[in-house]
Structure 1
Amino acid sequence: MNISNHSSAHSPSYDVESVSPFPEIPIESLPVRNLYSHLLPLDSPFSKTSPAFIDALTEKSLSRNDLRHEAGKIAKGLNSELGLVRRKETVGIFLANGLDWAEIFLAAQRGGWPTALFASSLSSTDLSRQLELSRPEVTFTSTTLLPTLQAAYSLLLTPPSSSEIQRKTVLIDSSPNVDTQGFRTLDGLKADISLEQVELEDRQIEREGEDIAQRTSVICFSSGTEGLSKGVETTHHNLTSLMTMMKPPVFPTLDPAKDSMLGLLPFSHIYGLFKLMLLPLQHGFPMVIVPKIDLRAICHAIQTYKVTCAIVVPPILIHLASSKVVDKYDLSSLDWLLSGAASLGKDLIHKVEARFSASNTIVLQGYGLTETSPVTHILQLSDTQAHPGSIGRLIPNVEARLVDQEGKDVVPDKEGSAEGEMWIKGPNVMKGYLGNPEATRDTIDSDGWLKTGDIARVDPNGYFWLVDRRKELIKYNGHQVAPAELEILLLTHPGVADVGVVGIWSESEKSEVPRAFVAPSSTDDPLTHEAETTLILEIQDWMKTKVASHKLLRGGIVLIDQIPRSASGKILRRKLRDLASTSPGHV
């Protein structure tokens, strides 16, 4: 940091802006290049033939040479078969984690095509909004997810024809249960080009500089600080800078010869993309993909591949701390677990470390946002015992400040108790929200400070703690859930007259979860207890068909006579939270 103590005859004063304790990296040393070339440089010091990604389910793997070759074939096919012009059109990926995902992503980056990342858990309604925002020229998907993609296209303001959907879709597999006639396949798209030809073209791509660096690399989707889904434009320079800023000693030192990382989190989320796709390629260690979050599969992969580190979220730690399944496997290879997406409590950290005490496995955490590509803070391995529960200190080249509700800087104190909304500045701050300059201006001020919407505090040594989430935004296990989005949807249900949604803490999930307060549609007589129960169950079942899993009303539904609103019509969420503390929701 440093929060420096300026001596005076009176009380000490502290700098209001915090900086990283690590040496700043000169701006001229931050890479100015295509993300693809940064991940797979021709002069890479790492083995070109050793596994880079391993699918724990199929036991198949891809080396760096494989990744380069397959990415080259796909990129060539996108240009020659589909007519995509380099750097112009957007490519979409609507897939679960897998080796194909890695090939396709690198192909899009090689071609300089902005890549829209759609979570495989999305409902057709959610996906349609993101398609409307990003407008991909082509989207890669599977036969399992094809019906959702087709339904999403049908919901667009100007739905494409069936033949147009076929033209814009590439399937990675086939299925006798799905009509795939007329659709192009991934294998059919790949051009017949040798690895040597790909490498020759890559020499030219490596010479790309400032022009490509400031262009959009990926479009991830975030609710920002409030409202409906926004497309976050992250540039090549955002990502290559952050990767440089995250080199040891900031990120733990890993040995490609002995270390491997477990890949659980969705690559479509910036957290999973950066930590599980980008960092392993930069640091040279293999990443073991577990396509579906299943505790037995996780433990089996750790035991089989002697995984030494894993990027997780709190629910996974809860299972590792308490499930009897863990006892059936040898997980002694695990050196550390890095948790993000939601703040961890000291109790859970201690439970996990106690469970793995024989192997001295350490739990550490970090912090970041989709809008910061994502990392801004990290707690180092050496700091975990002295600062449990802290999100750590700022990484190099990143600044932070705490701001009160009036927009004034909060002056940190010696006790580290002063709180404020955390604002962030650095080369990893996003380009902006896609097609939404107003939201971009509301989130990033004229001096480049990004308003995180999170309340935090910082101690004199630069260790940060999250205190609370901004009230309007619910963060469920790394996903951002906008109450306004759920309210708009719930108001379309015939049994709902008015509704307000807030986040409540779930001890069982160690996360915020959405709870809906519903004013039922008017009836002549008050609803009986049986009718209330029927309506609540009907709404819950209805929601399961409308939204992704992370947006379900896990906090339950409470029926009330009237939603509290201000004179201007705004929902008084504080009053709903007060009700939540005394009214158990029907789940």
Structure 2
Amino acid sequence: MVYTKSIYESVEPIPDQNIHDFLFNSPVQPPIDDWTLYIDAVTGVKTSRSEFIERVRDGTTALGSWISVGGLGLAPSGEMVGILGHNCMNFSAVLHSLLALTVPFALPSAFSTPFELAHALRTAKCTRLFVQEALLPGALQAAKEVGLPDDRIYILEGRVPGRKSFDDMIQTVRKRKVPRIAAQPANRNTLAYLVFSSGTSGLPKAVMISHGNVISIYRQGEVSASVEPVPPPGSPLPMVLAFLPFYHSYALQLVCMRGIREPATFVVLPTWNLDLVVKVVPKYKINALQLIPSAVHQLLHSPKVKSEDFDSVVRISCGAAHLPMELKKKLLTVIKNCPLIGEGFGMSECTVSAMRKPSPLAFGGKLSIPLEAVGILLPGQESRIVKEDGSEAGYNEPGELWVRGPNVALGYFSNEKATKETFLPDGWLRTGDTFTMDERGNLFFVDRAKDTLKISGAQVSPAEIEAVLTAHPGGLIIDVSVAGVSGGRTSDELVPRAWVVLSEKGKQLGEAAVVKELRGWSEKNLSKYKWLRGGIGIVDEIPKNPTGKVLRRLLQERYEQSLREPKAKL
């Protein structure tokens, strides 16, 4: 039976504490008094940790003070604040201000179309929204659709005439010398924020992360660090390239939060931009890269990338999706001063991660972890490998990975059905991913057991695309199925393809016209990474089993076989 516990020492019980106090007001002081926390890669503006702390304290006061003194009057009961924006210092400052107040927030994708954003705002039941100026038009459209009042939409960064901004709010409380508001009490199950995950099916669901969940991952990190070698005196401060989106669990934890407690400097890019990356890495002598497979692919295949520009890099970590073996090997030949690639496995439903690959020197160098392995369980984590029939898999036998630990989320917000399917009553989280485990506790990724696709590190739900196609007002189709087919950036990345059954209206219009119409409709209502890059196929029926479950695998196999068949010569 493949059931195992982490080989690390156990994690101390998670306290009933606001994560703000844990990060900002801990009695355990950082090893240095102050450091540059953020550098804006575009403007070069630097923000020290002490400056950021002052901004968050003023932001907490601005958001929580009475309206009569210039605040927003936010209170935990009945509020859910949306934050919509690309990476910027204010994004981090707003979320920390809300954490201090114990006012929960929701983090929709900055690339959302108005259709997608409306779904996110509706799902999270957002009562207010902070949005970057460039994203305001789409936000106003989505807000109108869900009934979010216009006067409850604020500017996250910069200023827009006639609309309150976070900067304005801070200036007001500073000018009026409004007494600062202290962090509010929280317990381990107090809701901290919502992040969106496609899960196993349907439109994106809102994952509930508690204050205790976030504290647990720092406790896990402290135990993990205790078996790693101590950096020699005078070691350079980690200088980290920060392009991963702050609304994603990976960057939210590693950039927006961890730097408050653990000294590091983050060079912040609004979004991934290879031209900017190749400039700032040598300029700031960046020594740590936090990557995703799609970024790795670009680094390896762009003529703009020169190996010598990355000579300062000594640490690489990769997450958000599985990194194929061929990319691991190639990356280490381009970035030559990095001995290995730190990997792990995680998902929003376990706050950020459940396993990680320690350094070769951890545990006194006694571990031997194969390059192919994803890692070992984090402290306080348990796992099971479960076969399709519900029985336990044996060593080196594939099955669905289940994990349990203090970092497992509370469930899905206002979605009891989905919560029961994924979060089991005894604390186990069904990941929906197929793994194997060897006798030494090394875990190996096999495949995605669920239908959700990973494209450029982001989850894409086939059912979400199906819902958009079905919603076409023309009534052109009567059935649809979406699944992943070959054609991605890497050998194991799949792209969405739709198979549709035409209605009578669709047949009258003609196949070519229907495909064109559906493609335009989907691209209007879906983010670019969700577009049907695998095409749209017309079929007579969608194959299903006796219980009505769509046989996506059969559709995929037929399509892949058609690609292999030789084309007839004219």
- TM-score, length-normalised on structure 2? 0.89
**Alpha carbon RMSD of aligned pairs, Å?**
2.7
Q: Which runs of 5+ in 1 are unaligned?
A: 1-14, 175-179
**Counterpart contact for 1:53–1:63, Cα < 8 Å:** yes
| Residue of 138, 143, 146 corresponding to 2:136 | 146
Written as runs of structure 1 = structure 2, the 5 A alignment for 1:269-284 is 269-284=248-263
Change (3 A) 1:450 1:427: same
TM superposition shift of 1:420: 0.9
SS at 1:497 equivalent? strand
Aligned to 1:135: 125
Aligned to 1:465: 444
**Counterpart contact for 1:250–1:380, Cα < 8 Å:** no
TM superposition shift of 1:326: 1.1
TM superposition shift of 1:538: 3.6
Aligned to 1:514: 496
SS at 2:402 equivalent? strand
TM superposition shift of 1:280: 2.6
Distance 1:222 1:360 in 2: 32
State whether structure 2 residue 81 is matched by structure 1 residue 63: no
Q: Percent identity at matched positions?
A: 28
TM superposition shift of 1:566: 3.2
**Counterpart contact for 2:201–2:464, Cα < 8 Å:** no
Aligned to 1:362: 340
Aligned to 1:36: 20
TM superposition shift of 1:476: 2.0
**Counterpart contact for 1:171–1:184, Cα < 8 Å:** no
**Counterpart contact for 1:92–1:138, Cα < 8 Å:** yes
State whether structure 2 residue 11 is matched by structure 1 residue 25: yes
State whether structure 2 residue 279 is matched by structure 1 residue 300: yes
Written as runs of structure 1 = structure 2, the 5 A alignment for 1:221-232 is 221-232=196-207
Change (3 A) 1:122 1:523: closer
Written as runs of structure 1 = structure 2, the 5 A alignment for 1:244-263 is 244-247=219-222, 248-249=225-226, 257-263=236-242
SS at 1:220 equivalent? strand
TM superposition shift of 1:572: 1.7
State whether structure 2 residue 406 is matched by structure 1 residue 427: yes
Change (3 A) 1:457 1:328: closer
TM superposition shift of 1:386: 5.2
Change (3 A) 1:292 1:361: farther
SS at 2:525 equivalent? coil
Aligned to 1:545: 524
Amino acid at match of 1:499: V
1:66-93 Cα deviation digits (max 9, x unpaired): 2221112222222232221256522210
Distance 1:257 1:153 in 2: 46
TM superposition shift of 1:65: 1.7
**Counterpart contact for 2:307–2:334, Cα < 8 Å:** no
Amino acid at match of 2:19: L
Distance 2:450 2:508 in 1: 32
Distance 1:113 1:389 in 2: 42
Aligned to 2:479: 498
TM superposition shift of 1:277: 1.8
Distance 1:124 1:267 in 2: 20
**Counterpart contact for 2:477–2:501, Cα < 8 Å:** yes
Distance 1:532 1:235 in 2: 49
SS at 2:561 equivalent? coil
Q: What is the number of residues matched between the two proteins?
A: 545
| Residue of 453, 462, 467 corresponding to 1:483 | 462
State whether structure 2 residue 352 is matched by structure 1 residue 374: yes
Distance 1:91 1:474 in 2: 28
TM superposition shift of 1:31: 4.3
**Counterpart contact for 1:343–1:389, Cα < 8 Å:** no
Aligned to 2:568: none
State whether structure 2 residue 546 is matched by structure 1 residue 556: no
Aligned to 1:350: 329
**Counterpart contact for 1:321–1:355, Cα < 8 Å:** yes
Q: Structure 1: which 4+ aligned runs deviate by more than 6 Å? A: 197-200, 250-256, 523-527
Aligned to 2:453: 474
| Residue of 395, 411, 435 corresponding to 1:456 | 435
Distance 2:549 2:227 in 1: 44
